[in-house]
Amino acid sequence: MGHNTRLTADDYARIRADYRKWRVNVGWTIALVILTLACAATYLYFSNTWVKIVAMGLAVGFFYRLSRRDGHAEGYIEGYEAGHDAAIYKAVGIKSEEVAEMREFATQMERDDMVVGKMNEREKTD
């Protein structure tokens, strides 16, 4: 947040290219879900041990790839939200020290609310 970052035309071109790649990956994600489900159905439907082993192996591989994609998507969302928040703080003129104080204050308020809630529960049961 303390950085003064400006995006260049090359940055915008790279971001647009990354977005196009991401959209293609969404299609592959749907295909991976379908393939994982097909492998699970194959495992349940067929009684041949070798077919079950191959189906389970493929299903594990597809599920692993899906899990990795989910992790990447979560990181992308967290990064986007952090950048969005940083832009708002910069536009409003809030410094990083003030943000840290606000977060600490919010955490303390949450703790206080939990303690008061527990005390209220105790009073009701007594």
Q: Are residues 73 and 101 in the same domain?
A: no
Q: Are residues 83 and 102 in the same domain?
A: no
pTM value is: 0.45
Q: For 2, which DSSP code?
A: -
Q: Are residues 76 and 108 in the same domain?
A: no
pLDDT digits (tens), the chain, 126 positions: 445 566 677 877 787 777 777 776 677 778 888 999 999 999 999 989 999 999 999 999 988 888 887 777 777 777 777 777 777 777 778 887 887 788 888 888 888 888 888 888 888 876
Q: Are residues 20 and 73 in the same domain?
A: yes
Query: What is the tally of structural domains in the chain?
Result: 2
Q: Are residues 61 and 99 in the same domain?
A: no
Greatest C-alpha distance within the chain: 67
Range of the domain at 14: 1-94
Q: Take residue 8 and report the two structure tokens written for it.
A: 């260049």
Q: Are residues 58 and 103 in the same domain?
A: no
Per the CB < 8 A criterion, the answer to whether 108 and 116 are in contact is no
